[in-house]
Structure 1
Amino acid sequence: MDKMKVTYEVMLGLAAEMVWDEALRKHRSEEIYKEIDQALASGDEVAFRSLTDELKTLS
């Protein structure tokens, strides 16, 4: 029974880590979209390209 408990705790930890990673990815994506909007508004092509490249790596 102890082995099942350990396995369950490990699985629960992995699930929590997956949820956390997804939340961080979503938050960063939202930040990048805002920064892309700012780069477009200011005409900063270098920042725009850099941010869109970063956004692609998150997907």
Structure 2
Amino acid sequence: MDKMKATYEVMLGLAAEMVWDEALRKHRSEELYREIDRALATGDESAFRNLTDELRLLN
């Protein structure tokens, strides 16, 4: 029974980590879209390229 409980706790921890990772990825993606919009509005081509590269890697 203890082995099942330990396994369950490990699985629960992994599930929590997956949820956390997805939340961080989503948050960074939203930040990148805002920064890309800003770069486009100001005509900053270098920032635009760097940000879109990071967004591409993130997805």
For the superposition of Structure 1 and Structure 2, which TM-score range results when normalised by the shorter chain?
A: over 0.9
CA shift at 1:46, angstroms? 0.2
C-alpha distance in 2 between matches for 1:24 and 1:15: 14
> For residues 7-55 of structure 1, what are the alpha-carbon distances to aligned partners after superposition, in whole Å with 9 as ceiling and x for unaligned?
0000000000000000000000000000000000000000000000000
Equivalent residue, structure 1, for 2:28: 28
Alignment: residue pair count: 59
C-alpha distance in 2 between matches for 1:48 and 1:41: 10
> Under a length normalisation based on structure 2, what TM-score does the superposition of the two structures give?
0.99
Equivalent residue, structure 2, for 1:41: 41
C-alpha distance in 1 between matches for 2:23 and 2:58: 12
> Under a length normalisation based on structure 1, what TM-score does the superposition of the two structures give?
0.99
- RMSD of aligned alpha carbons: 0.2
